[in-house]
Amino acid sequence: MAYLNANIPVLYSQIRREYLYDLKEHHGEVEDCIIFGLTSISGSAILFHAIMENGAVFYRLPISAFIQRDFKPDKVPKYRLDELELWNCFSYYPAIICWDLIKGSNGKYRGKDKKWHKGKYLFTVDWAHPESNIVDTDHSEISHEHKCAHIIALDDGNYAAQPNNRCIWDLPSFTVKDEVPDWKVQTSDWSVEDTGKWKTEDTNKFFYDIEEKKND
């Protein structure tokens, strides 16, 4: 698992040039870039790193700074950052995965505007806490608080980062039900060693037996 910075599947994109000038000038202009990594800071939006055609690299820009390569900027709607990304990073330890099952699949997410926004799956950012000797002050491993962020190339030219409970994916040979689940938030912590009902045999045998504990 990475700390702070992580590689991602590269995205040939365009950057809104105002983000290169602290949002003070060059609004409405874009230039080509390659997004190649991200920074995860607990309590901050996911921040992306990109290299420009002049060879310069700009670190730590939000997902709203970028649009897809083949779109004209005046045709791509501008959304607030919080409309494209629902949650901040959950820790300094991001894990990047591109799930084979839904790689390149079409999907949609339900936005704050209560509308569905369609796009294509790119990869997923997930978070965890690295080890018990570091004080855990985040929510990455609390069952009912955990979220991941699926990075999506939207049909309108933007990118988005949305959690599982906002996304529906389209696998034509399997996802045949046209419905939004009414599931409940997961609050259980699952373990196989917390029942107090069994113990191992007190022996040096390689294939030791499992014994039921007697009632006190």
Q: Where are the domains of the chain?
A: 5-170
The pLDDT value recorded for residue 214 is 78
- Reply yes or no on whether the pLDDT at 82 is more than 80: yes
What mean pLDDT is reported for the chain?
Answer: 92
Weakest mean pLDDT among 29-33, 35-39, 111-115, 198-202: 198-202
**With bands split at pLDDT 50, 70 and 90, how would you rate the model's confidence at 209?**
very high
Q: Tens of pLDDT along 104-138?
A: 999 999 999 999 999 999 999 999 887 766 666 66
Residue 48 neighbours by CB under 8 Å, 6+ apart: 8, 35, 37, 38, 39, 60, 61, 62, 63, 65, 66
How far is 126 from 96, CA to CA, in rounded Å?
7
